[in-house]
Amino acid sequence: MIHPSQSLPTLSQADAEAIVREPVFSVTPLGQGARSRVYRVETEEGLVRVVRLTKTGSGRIEREAFVERAIEAAGLKSAVPVVAAARVTHVALAKECDVVTMREVKGVALASALRSALAPERERLFERFGAGLCAIHSVSAQGFGLLTTGGAGAFDAWSRCFEATARAALEELRVSPLSELFGRAEDRLASLVQAAAYDGPARLLHGDAQPMNVLAQQGSIVAWLDWEFASGGDPRYELAYVETVFERAWAPWAEDEERARWRAAFYQGYGGDPFASDPERLRAYALVHAMRSTEFSSVMAPTLAPALREATVRGMRARVLGLLEE
C-alpha cells in the first residue's frame, strides 16, 4: 500500500532557501505528519521555521484561517493564541504540493516543557492546557466533522459523523499489522455508536490537541499549532484523545501518581471531568482513537529500525486489545 506522503517531493536546502529567503544552515525532517513531510529549517541567522509539504487541495490554509478568525471573533485570542499556517510561494514545488509554514514563535513544545519542568510547574502547565482546550470547545461550529474551507462540517448530526469516523478507523486497522483484530473491532462498532449518543451543538475541536502542538514559554501557553484537522463535534471525543497523555506509554519516566495529578490538573483547568459519570463514552471514543492511530504502523513504522518498529506495533496491539476486552 503506497501512502500519499510517499509520493511527495523532499525538501532540499535550495528549496528551503527559496522559502525563507535567507541562507539555510540546516534542513531536518521531523518525521511527523502521516500525510505530509515536515521539516525544521534553521537559517544562518538563527531563525527557525517549520515547513510542511502537503498534497494540493487539502484546504488546510483556508481552514486554519477560518479558525483564527473564529477564535478572534469569540474574544478568545489571548486565551487561545492561534498560529495558523500560511502558504509559501515556490514555483517548482507548487506544481506538486502546497508548501506551508508558520511564523516564528518563541517557546518550546509543551511536551519538552513538561519533561524539563519541576513537578508543581508541570501541573500548572496541564491546568493551562486544559483551560485553553475548554476555551476552544466553547466556540460553536457549523455542523459536525472536518471543517470545510468555509468553516462548516459535513454532517448535521454527531451520530452520523462518529459512525463515519469509526468506520474510517476500522479501515485503518484493517490495512495495518493489527488486521487480525478487525473482526472483533467491527463487532463492537454498533455498541460504540450507541454509547456515543450526543444531541448537543457542534463545538470547535482542535483535531490534534496534544503536547507537541502547543508551545509553552515561562509557564504559559503561547501558541496552539497545527489546526489542519479542525472539526466540529462532541468535545468529549477530543478529550478522549488527550487522555492518552496521562498513560504510562506517553511518559514512562513519570510515576503513576504524578500522571494522576496531571490529569486532575488538566480537568481542573478544563472545568470538570465529563467522563467521571460516563466511563462507557470514554471507552468508546478511546477505542476509535486507538484504531485511528494504527495508521502510524502502516505509514511511519516501516521507516523505523526493526526493534523499534516491533515495539511500536506491540504497544498498539496491547492498547487496542485492552480496549476491546473492557
Domain that holds residue 298: 108-325
- Amino acid 9: pLDDT: 84
DSSP string, 62-94: HHHHHHHHHHHHTT-TTTS-B---EE---TTGG
Angle at 40 between CA 136 and CA 135, to 5 degrees: 5
Q: Is residue 263 pLDDT above 50, yes or no?
A: yes
Q: How many beta carbons lie within 10 A of that of residue 102, not counting itself?
A: 17
Does residue 261 belong to any structural domain of this protein?
A: yes
Does residue 64 belong to any structural domain of this protein?
A: no
Question: 12 or 6: which carries more pLDDT confidence?
Answer: 12
Q: What residue type is assigned to position 96 of the chain?
A: E
Which residue among 101, 130, 163 closes a domain? 101
Do 91 and 192 belong together in one domain?
no
Contact 131, 223 (CB under 8 A): no
**Band of residue 298 on the pLDDT scale cut at 50, 70, 90:** low
Number of domains in the chain: 2
Q: Is residue 150 pLDDT above 50, yes or no?
A: yes
Q: How many beta carbons lie within 10 A of that of residue 148, not counting itself?
A: 15
Give the rounded percent of residues in the chain with a pLDDT score beyond 90. 60
Q: Is residue 312 pLDDT above 90, yes or no?
A: no
Tell me the mean pLDDT in the region 213-227: 92
- Amino acid 49: pLDDT: 85
- Amino acid 10: pLDDT: 87
Give the rounded percent of residues in the chain with a pLDDT score beyond 70. 94
Does residue 67 belong to any structural domain of this protein?
A: no
Residue 105, φ and ψ in degrees, nearest 5:
-130, 130
**Those residues with Cβ within 8 angstroms of residue 301's Cβ, 6 or more apart along the chain or in another chain:** 177, 309, 312, 313
**Band of residue 6 on the pLDDT scale cut at 50, 70, 90:** low
DSSP string, 114-165: HHHS-HHHHHHHHHHHHHHHHHHHTSB-BSBEE--TTSB-SBSSHHHHHHHH
**Gap between the Cα atoms of 267 and 86, Å rounded:** 32
Quickly tell me which residue has 461550529 as its cell. 141
Q: pTM of the prediction?
A: 0.90
Do 304 and 194 belong together in one domain?
yes
Contact 293, 320 (CB under 8 A): no
Question: 226 or 6: which carries more pLDDT confidence?
Answer: 226
Do 92 and 112 belong together in one domain?
no
Do 300 and 251 belong together in one domain?
yes
Do 255 and 112 belong together in one domain?
yes
- Amino acid 4: pLDDT: 45
Angle at 209 between CA 297 and CA 212, to 5 degrees: 70
Lowest mean pLDDT among 72-76, 282-286, 291-295: 291-295
In this structure, the strands spanning 231-233 and 220-224 are unpaired
Do 36 and 154 belong together in one domain?
no
- Amino acid 3: pLDDT: 46
- Amino acid 34: pLDDT: 55
* CATH classification of the domain holding 204: 3.90.1200.10
Which residue among 101, 126, 156 closes a domain? 101
Tell me the mean pLDDT in the region 74-88: 93
By C-alpha distance, which of 147, 25, 14, 5 is closest to 84? 147
Tell me the mean pLDDT in the region 212-224: 92
Distance between terminal CA atoms of the chain?
32
**Gap between the Cα atoms of 58 and 78, Å rounded:** 28
- Amino acid 288: pLDDT: 96
In three-state secondary structure terms, 260 is helix
| Arithmetic mean of pLDDT over the chain | 89
Lowest mean pLDDT among 5-14, 61-70, 101-110: 5-14
Q: Is residue 58 pLDDT above 50, yes or no?
A: yes
Do 177 and 148 belong together in one domain?
yes
pLDDT digits 0-9 by tens, 20-37? 888 999 998 876 555 678
Query: What does each C-alpha distance from 269 to 127, 145, 228, 264, 320 come to in angstroms?
Result: 4, 26, 25, 9, 29
Tell me the mean pLDDT in the region 308-314: 86
- Amino acid 246: pLDDT: 96
**Gap between the Cα atoms of 127 and 133, Å rounded:** 10
Tell me the mean pLDDT in the region 145-173: 94
Q: Quick one: angle between helices 279-293 and 306-325, nearest 10?
A: 150
Q: Is residue 207 pLDDT above 90, yes or no?
A: yes
Does residue 235 belong to any structural domain of this protein?
A: yes
- Amino acid 40: pLDDT: 86
Do 97 and 129 belong together in one domain?
no
